[in-house]
Amino acid sequence: MLLLKYLIIFLCISLNYGCNREVVRENQPIKKDSGVSQLAKSDIDNVIEIHVNESRRLLKELMSKLYKRNPRELKKSPYKIADENIVRLFDLKHTWDFPELEGTHDIESIRLVFNDEYEGDRVFAFVSGLMSMIMKSYNYKSKFYIIDSVDPQKLYNCARNIEIAMWKLSNDYDSTGKLFLISNSLSDDKIRNLSYERLFGKLIATQDNMAIILANKKQRGIKKIIQNMATAVFLPI
């Protein structure tokens, strides 16, 4: 019976794992995993998937908010409606090779946002960079099975990079002295809007939480890194 159980698990992995790793093309809707794949999952695999999905949800919300605060960025985009950009980034399969990102991915896409010479849609570059960086920390997977492994150090490094990106969003200015992207603001009664900080805080906590869970499960330590935000450099994923 034990041998039969492992044969069933192996068969499920064979049927689903290849689909999870296949090269995907833009403009294909994302397919949901079949119920049979649950046989090839452990509890920790389900927990990882929950954290990945939560990061996607938070970034969708962040992208929508940034477009509302920076409508000028849509004029630079080949897609003039914010929802179209949200759908093609989060709801359609792709390989992260968006033409407006000039061949960059993850950290390099985030750097584009704060480059005076970049003429593309900075909101799309920023959120796409964050999303591809997060997915890179999960080995570009959204479905996980018993044979998969995620490095908690990558998740920790990713969380620190999100902190750096958040700081740059509020503190980096272009050559004219204006913020590259507008996020937080003061209301008429001088109350500061902290909704962006709350979103970033949840993103960071999601990565850190998963890093701690995996480190404890694997009985591995995480190398902690402390940087001054003004001079901080992005950590490798």
Domains in the chain: boundaries: 40-218
What is the reported pLDDT for 40?
Answer: 80
C-alpha to C-alpha distance for 97 and 237, rounded to whole angstroms: 18
In which element (H, E) is residue 92 found? strand 92-93
SS (H, E, C) 98-122: CHHHCCCCHHHHHHHHCCCCCCCCH
Q: For the chain, give the mean pLDDT.
A: 86
Give this prediction's pTM. 0.84
pLDDT digits (tens, 9 = 90+) for 10-46: 334 443 444 443 333 344 555 555 555 666 888 999 9
DSSP 8-class letter at 22: S
First-last CA distance in the chain: 41
C-alpha to C-alpha distance for 105 and 103, rounded to whole angstroms: 7
pLDDT digits (tens, 9 = 90+) for 84-104: 999 999 999 999 999 999 999
pLDDT digits (tens, 9 = 90+) for 148-203: 999 999 999 999 999 999 999 999 999 999 999 999 865 555 567 788 999 999 99
20: closest CA among 54, 48, 62? Answer: 48
Pair of tokens at residue 10: 């192996």
